[in-house]
Copies of this chain bind each other. A is one copy, B any other.
Amino acid sequence: MRFDAEKEKKELGERKVDSKEIFDGVILHVFRDSVRLPNGDITGREVIRHVGAVCVIPVTDDGMVYVERQYRYPVDSVITEIPAGKLDSPEEDRLSAAKRELIEETGITADSWLDLGDFYSAAAYSDEKITMYLARGLHRGEQHLDKGEFLNVVQVPLEELLQDVMDGKIPDGKTQMAILKAAKAIEMGL
């Protein structure tokens, strides 16, 4: 699938006319911009600027995955997630951030890191880009949770997680995606 990105941007692109900062939070920076559409009309765009994030699916030699049970306030429930976290700064190396989050949240270090690619969590209104890694060759050490971070680490077979994804039992987006992609990557011999 090949596209002429420059030509498409000329045809479909929007130009910023104005930008107003709404909220400068710890995680979320919210803006309300005005843009000029391809037909010349002006419209509003609500935009979240986010520093970016990483997530890691740690899989043992015998196909077990370390996942976390973590309470998420916006959805008021404890859900299954893979280790993840935001970058310390936009410039931070993403692999270093992934290694840091994995050891902090689970105490695990890994010999082998496969980049499973990036994705935008909500490109319609946010620039958050998340990079996914598959970590193998695992060694367990001690967890170093951030102050105010509470979660339980459990081991689940990758095959069971894959079935849970298909049965709709993994509500977290990045976790669903990483399970599907890791299973596919392992199946492809990557």
Contact = CB atoms under 8 A, between A and B. Distances in A.
A23 B12 CA distance: 28
A18 to B, nearest CB: 13
Copies of this protein in the complex:
2
Q: Name A's interface SS.
A: mixed
A74 to B, nearest CB: 4
A45 B148 CA distance: 12
Interface string A1-28: 1010100110111100000001101111
Given A121-B121, A180-B184, A46 B27 contact: yes
B75 A48 contact: no
Interface of A: 1, 3, 5, 8-9, 11-14, 22-23, 25-28, 30, 32-33, 35, 37-39, 41, 43-49, 69-81, 115, 117-130, 148, 150-152, 154, 156, 160-162, 164-174, 176-177, 180-181, 184-185, 188
